[in-house]
């Protein structure tokens, strides 16, 4: 079976992990700070807090921004549920901004209209979580210019987009946002098995992010209430969580990060072969842009919605484990119970009806990819 996504682990990765197991602290050692620094160096962000998942990262991002009861957070319906759940964890409420059918990211025109409406009704969001779907950056300049005058915080859910660029800068640099969240789940650009990171350029936000990821406990006497009792002393000054990444995971992350550019180049090559190989088929191929170079986390095509189920099954029968991203968040029963309805975000719903995720990952070789393309021809031409 050819999966839709898969990690790549080499000897260097294994040696890095084994070295920690044999010689180093398993947690709270040197690997986590080194990984955080390497992520800052790669992306250009000033501050980084490594966490134990992208989902934890989204949660602490919301906490650091002070999101709580009575606040509203907007996100894309075309995403993994974690992009919206983070607001609910903080007792805030969630709403969605429909996507653009070409970019499959939050549509800036829809966003502008929704903001105007919310401003009139005095229900502006406190933050927006934008998702760089499939690894292709959102139109951050426009989103920034719409949100900043209204003092709406911007969180980039960049779980798909480590290794991508926007206006010639790495995604993660945070030029047009307050906080950027990464995920290192095995299907993402690099992996630590489970893991994530929170990037920002604002020292106050970075301090809060770290605090909320580490129980709300500090050893910094400047943050303490009263005087320190001595070098052993620490205080809990807020209610945080244990979202730390371990040094075993961080060592894997450091090693993987040295391979990221190679991974992304391989993904881009696979994407180019799909563009050539599928050009004559009745499928809609993804858009791609010079100003937003994709990391090609996913290669999504759209097929006739009446045939999607059949095509999905036929490809599986031929050994190609295509997938579908995403079931729009608002259509999940949990969100339906919150009052969302089918038809509310029709562009994301239509995309879902047609969507098919083809295999793309660094170790997908030319023969395997040709098998995928041949299978697509057998079924669709």
Ligand X SMILES: *Cc1c(COP(=O)(O)O)cnc(C)c1O
Give the footprint of ligand X on this chain (CB under 6 A).
53-55, 79-80, 82-83, 131, 157, 159-160, 183, 185, 196
Of 358, 377, 354, the residue nearest 369 (C-alpha): 358
Shortest Cβ distance from residue 157 to ligand X (Å)? Answer: 5
d(CA 239, CA 228): 20
Q: Which is nearer to ligand X, 55 or 218 (CB)?
A: 55
Cβ contacts of 223 within 8 Å, gap of 6 or more: 207, 211, 235, 237
Q: Which is nearer to ligand X, 94 or 159 (CB)?
A: 159
Shortest Cβ distance from residue 338 to ligand X (Å)? Answer: 19
355 token code pair = 């969507």
d(CA 288, CA 298): 12
Shortest Cβ distance from residue 147 to ligand X (Å)? Answer: 19
User: 229 in helix, strand or coil?
Assistant: coil
Q: Which is nearer to ligand X, 16 or 82 (CB)?
A: 82
DSSP β-bridge partners for residue 320: 2
311 token code pair = 């095509």
Report DSSP letters for 105-145, one per residue.
SBPHHHHHHHHHHHHHTT---SEEEEE-GGG----HHHHHH
The count of other CB atoms within 10 Å of the CB of residue 46 is 14
Residue nearest to ligand X (CB): 54
Shortest Cβ distance from residue 158 to ligand X (Å)? Answer: 8
Q: Which is nearer to ligand X, 82 or 315 (CB)?
A: 82
d(CA 197, CA 206): 11
Shortest Cβ distance from residue 319 to ligand X (Å)? Answer: 25
Shortest Cβ distance from residue 261 to ligand X (Å)? Answer: 21
Q: Which is nearer to ligand X, 42 or 80 (CB)?
A: 80
Q: Which is nearer to ligand X, 178 or 376 (CB)?
A: 178
Shortest Cβ distance from residue 206 to ligand X (Å)? Answer: 20
Q: Which is nearer to ligand X, 5 or 362 (CB)?
A: 5
Shortest Cβ distance from residue 22 to ligand X (Å)? Answer: 27
Residue carrying structure tokens 């499939």: 134
Q: Which is nearer to ligand X, 273 or 296 (CB)?
A: 296
Residue carrying structure tokens 């320190």: 228
Q: What is the C-alpha end-to-end distance of the chain, expressed in Å?
A: 22
3-state secondary structure 168-228: CEECCCCCCCCEEEEECCCCCCCCCCCCEEEEECCHHHHHHHHHHHECCEECCHHHCCCCC
Q: What are phi and psi of 299, to 5 degrees?
A: -115, 105
């Amino acid at each position: 079976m050819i999966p839709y996504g898969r990690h790549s682990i080499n000897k260097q990765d294994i040696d890095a992990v084994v070295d920690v197991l044999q010689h180093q602290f398993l947690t709270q050692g040197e690997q986590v700070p080194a990984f955080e620094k390497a992520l800052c160096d790669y992306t250009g962000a000033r501050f980084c807090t490594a966490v134990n998942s992208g989902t934890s990262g989204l949660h602490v991002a919301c906490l650091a921004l002070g999101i709580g009861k009575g606040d509203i957070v907007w996100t894309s319906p075309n995403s993994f549920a974690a992009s919206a759940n983070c607001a609910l964890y903080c007792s805030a409420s969630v709403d969605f901004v429909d996507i653009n059918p070409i970019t499959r990211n939050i549509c800036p025109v829809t966003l502008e209209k929704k903001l105007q409406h919310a401003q009139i009704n005095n229900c502006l969001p406190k933050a927006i979580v934008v998702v760089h779907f499939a690894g292709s950056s959102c139109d951050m300049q426009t989103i920034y210019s719409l949100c900043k005058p209204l003092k709406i915080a911007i969180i980039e859910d960049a779980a798909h987009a480590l290794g991508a660029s926007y206006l010639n800068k790495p995604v993660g640099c945070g030029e047009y946002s307050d906080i950027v969240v990464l995920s290192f789940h095995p299907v993402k650009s690099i992996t630590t098995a489970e893991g994530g990171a929170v990037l920002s350029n604002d020292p106050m936000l970075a301090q809060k992010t770290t605090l909320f990821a580490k129980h709300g406990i500090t050893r910094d006497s400047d943050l303490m209430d009263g005087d320190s009792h001595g070098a052993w002393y620490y205080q809990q000054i807020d209610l945080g969580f244990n979202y730390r990444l371990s040094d075993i995971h961080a060592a894997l992350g450091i090693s993987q990060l040295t391979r990221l550019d190679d991974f992304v180049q391989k993904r881009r090559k696979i994407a180019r072969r799909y563009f050539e190989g599928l050009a004559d088929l009745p499928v809609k191929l993804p858009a791609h842009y010079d100003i937003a170079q994709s990391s090609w986390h996913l290669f999504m095509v759209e097929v006739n919605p009446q045939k999607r189920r059949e095509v999905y099954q036929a490809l599986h029968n031929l050994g190609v484990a295509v997938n579908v991203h995403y079931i729009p968040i608002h259509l999940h029963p949990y969100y339906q119970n919150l009052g969302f309805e089918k038809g509310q975000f029709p562009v994301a719903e239509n995309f879902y009806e047609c969507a098919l995720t083809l295999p793309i990952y660094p170790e997908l070789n030319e023969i395997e990819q040709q098998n995928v393309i041949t299978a697509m021809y057998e079924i669709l031409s």
